[in-house]
């Protein structure tokens, strides 16, 4: 396929995916009412919705997630293919970071004996990509069952403010696309320009007022500085491909997802981490935002990730 036709097919894919990704899909998602037995109800900080001259009534107060138990009560009800037992087994802990609204970010470290590689696996950077958080929870279990020489750090939900809404949304509570908020060179010029010219000011892709303006992206930036992962795996949906940025050879496939490097965006994690910090970033785009792959596929993707990590980064 030549470059032009391949670009055209990518555009068609994007158009289809974006269409399928907006409000109608969210409307189809069965979102049960919040669990009643929330141990400690702390009202979330109200964040005023952007208003265009009319008065927008404040959203009803939502229980703030401060504990892994509260996280699982919310997650098990609304995420696809996440039974309470799977979430509980994940043994999440708070990591000290908080979202704009004050939800605690959760993480789980799985440390193999003689671990000499650090791999950070994140999901839910975009709040309407529910399957990404589900996949990370499944992979926590896989990591506890598969030997490797890796120190895994899993953060299943980077954008709780977006995902825990009755109608989950891509951006965080301040309407920022966290995956456009990283400090790539020349961000001040390129990110706003890309947003206005290429996305026509799409509110789902607003890069924010400045790089790292949001606590969620700032946490990830700081984590990269502090923990210095050898690899970041960032799970998204629904384009059904694998993307890669960084200095080594990319994985050709994970399960049924094949490598298709579609390009880089100002302010994206792949651009910042992979291209500028030389920290490899595997971006997984699951085929559906509201359904996880089958169990066998989740497992195959995991095994392929392990094999590639061992071959390319010397995990074993
Ligand atoms: Zn995404």
DSSP 180: G
Q: Around Cβ 185, how many Cβ atoms within 10 Å?
A: 12
Distance separating alpha carbons of residues 157 and 104, to the nearest angstrom: 10
For strands 231-236 and 117-122, give the pairing. Answer: parallel
Distance separating alpha carbons of residues 64 and 126, to the nearest angstrom: 19
Cα–ligand 1 centroid distance for 270 (angstroms) = 12
0.85 cut: is pTM over it?
A: no
Q: Is pLDDT of 12 > 80?
A: no
Are the beta carbons of 245 and 275 closer than 8 angstroms?
A: yes
pLDDT digits (tens, 9 = 90+) for 78-98: 999 999 999 999 999 999 999
Cα–ligand 1 centroid distance for 127 (angstroms) = 8
Cα–ligand 1 centroid distance for 126 (angstroms) = 5
Q: pLDDT band for 41, please (50, 70, 90 cuts).
A: very low
Among residues of the chain, what percentage have pLDDT more than 70?
80
Q: pLDDT band for 312, please (50, 70, 90 cuts).
A: confident
Distance separating alpha carbons of residues 149 and 117, to the nearest angstrom: 7
Q: Is pLDDT of 7 > 70?
A: no
Cα–ligand 1 centroid distance for 244 (angstroms) = 14
Cα–ligand 1 centroid distance for 40 (angstroms) = 31
Are the beta carbons of 183 and 272 closer than 8 angstroms?
A: yes
Cα–ligand 1 centroid distance for 269 (angstroms) = 11
What average pLDDT does range 119-129 have in this prediction? 98
Among residues of the chain, what percentage have pLDDT more than 90?
74
What average pLDDT does range 271-278 have in this prediction? 95
What average pLDDT does range 3-12 have in this prediction? 45
Q: pLDDT band for 52, please (50, 70, 90 cuts).
A: very low
Are the beta carbons of 190 and 184 closer than 8 angstroms?
A: yes
Distance separating alpha carbons of residues 242 and 304, to the nearest angstrom: 12
Q: pLDDT band for 5, please (50, 70, 90 cuts).
A: very low
Residue 55: its pLDDT value, please?
Answer: 53
11-20, 55-64, 200-209, 237-246: which has the minimum mean pLDDT?
11-20
Residue 62: its pLDDT value, please?
Answer: 65
| Averaged pLDDT score across all residues of the chain | 86
Angle of the 130-145 helix axis to the 295-313 helix axis, nearest 10: 70
Cα–ligand 1 centroid distance for 129 (angstroms) = 6
Distance separating alpha carbons of residues 22 and 128, to the nearest angstrom: 9
* 187 prior amide bond cis, ω within 30: no
How open is the CA angle 17-156-292, to the nearest 5 degrees? 45
Residue 37: its pLDDT value, please?
Answer: 43
Q: Is pLDDT of 43 > 60?
A: no
Residue 187: its pLDDT value, please?
Answer: 98
Distance separating alpha carbons of residues 90 and 16, to the nearest angstrom: 34
- In the chain, how many H helices and how many E strands? 10, 9
- Domains in the chain with CATH codes: 62-313 (3.40.630.10)
Structure tokens at 39: 């141990």
């Amino acid at each position: 396929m030549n470059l032009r036709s391949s670009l055209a097919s990518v555009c068609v894919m994007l158009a289809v995916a974006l269409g399928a990704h907006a409000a109608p899909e969210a409307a189809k998602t069965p979102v049960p009412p919040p669990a009643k037995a929330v141990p400690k109800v702390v009202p979330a900080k109200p964040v005023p919705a952007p208003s265009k001259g009319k008065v927008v009534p404040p959203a009803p107060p939502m229980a703030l997630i401060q504990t892994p138990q509260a996280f699982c009560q919310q997650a098990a009800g609304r995420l696809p293919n996440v039974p309470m037992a799977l979430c509980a087994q994940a043994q999440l802990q708070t990591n000290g970071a908080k979202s704009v609204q004050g939800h605690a970010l959760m993480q789980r470290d799985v440390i193999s004996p003689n671990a000499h590689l650090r791999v950070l696996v994140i999901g839910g950077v975009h709040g309407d990509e529910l399957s990404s958080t589900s996949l990370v929870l499944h992979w926590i279990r896989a990591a506890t069952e598969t030997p490797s020489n890796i120190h895994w750090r899993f953060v299943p939900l980077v954008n709780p403010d977006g995902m825990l809404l009755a109608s989950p949304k891509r951006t965080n509570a301040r309407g920022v696309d966290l995956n456009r908020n990283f400090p790539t060179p020349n961000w001040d010029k390129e990110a706003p320009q890309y947003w206005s010219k290429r996305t026509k000011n799409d509110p789902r892709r607003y890069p924010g007022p400045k790089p790292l303006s949001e606590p969620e992206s700032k946490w990830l930036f700081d984590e990269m500085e502090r923990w210095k992962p050898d690899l970041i795996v960032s799970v998204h949906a629904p384009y059904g491909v694998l993307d890669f940025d960084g200095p080594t050879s990319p994985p050709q496939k994970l399960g049924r997802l094949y490598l298709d490097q579609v390009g880089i965006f100002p302010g994206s994690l792949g651009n910042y981490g992979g291209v500028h910090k030389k920290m490899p970033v595997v971006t997984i785009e699951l085929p559906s935002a509201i359904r996880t792959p089958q169990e066998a596929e989740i497992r195959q993707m995991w095994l392929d990730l392990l094999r590639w990590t061992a071959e390319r980064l010397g995990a074993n």
